[in-house]
Amino acid sequence: MKLLLAFLAALVSGAALAQEDIEAVDRGIVIPSLRFSFDIAGEVGPQGPAVPHSGHGIEIGLTGGSGEDSQSLSGGEFVRFGNRTFTGSTTLEHEFDFRFFELAYRYRRFFGSGVFGIEALGGLGFAEVDFTTRSPTASASEKMSSGGILGAFGIIWKFHPAAYLQPRLTLFASGEEEGVSAAARLDVQVAWAFARNVALRGGLTSWAFTSSRVEGNDSNSLNSRVVAAASGLSIGLDVAF
């Protein structure tokens, strides 16, 4: 009897539905951004504050974008989102809009002739993702947002007196139990300071946002973890003082 019960338990366990993460990845979008910066200390070069230079400063940034993707569920899988349960076999259509605001202290240091430099940033961020998922029979939407801390590190190569290459990695983390729990951004951009206080940036940017698996409004269910990612061409405007 014990052996039979163990066998039945194994069958039930194997037949149980498995809760999956919600995943949406869009690799073909355009991501705009706007950045303001203010020098605290440091020597500005002859090209003006829009060209990176050694010193301390404050950066304020805003960026965002939209993406979409589809996700297939098999017969033994399900996801929960927005107080709805989506079970397989089905295909889910995801849409999301994201926004990110940052306020950070920035330190830059150039070496030797001043062509190569590094930068480090630390401060506060606010991430927001509006996410919608649909199946052929139902749909659900939620706005996930959180404030948290951020850190960033970058490299700068000034290959021209007014133009430079600037890869930068930014990490964001929130201690909140709901909303966006973590985010990461990788920028590889070329910038041109066409005026003393203004620079235009362009290149490639990749974003990823993750939410915790948290209780929805229905305390008997848990939302699936949401992973939303977007990458593509980036355009940006820098205003520096």
Taking the domain 25-240, which CATH number applies? 2.40.128
pLDDT at 106 (0 to 100): 98
Q: Which of 169, 182, 171, 172 is nearest to 225 (CA)?
A: 182
Q: Does residue 170 carry a pLDDT above 80? A: yes
Instruction: Give mean pLDDT, residues 199-220.
Output: 78
Q: Does residue 209 carry a pLDDT above 90? A: yes
119/143 Cα distance (integer angstroms) = 33
pLDDT at 45 (0 to 100): 77
Q: Does residue 3 carry a pLDDT above 70? A: no
Q: Which amino acid is at 75?
A: G
**What confidence category does residue 219 fall into, taking pLDDT thresholds of 50, 70 and 90?**
very low
pLDDT tens per residue, range 71-127: 998 888 889 888 888 887 899 999 999 999 999 999 999 998 889 999 999 999 999
Q: Indicate the average pLDDT of the chain.
A: 88
Q: Does residue 2 carry a pLDDT above 80? A: no
Q: Which of 83, 94, 80 is nearest to 20 (CA)?
A: 80
pLDDT at 217 (0 to 100): 44
pLDDT at 196 (0 to 100): 93
Q: How far is CA 108 from CA 41, 42, 80, in A?
A: 10, 9, 45
pLDDT at 8 (0 to 100): 34
Question: Which SS3 state, helix, strand or coil, does residue 12 take?
Answer: helix
pLDDT at 14 (0 to 100): 43
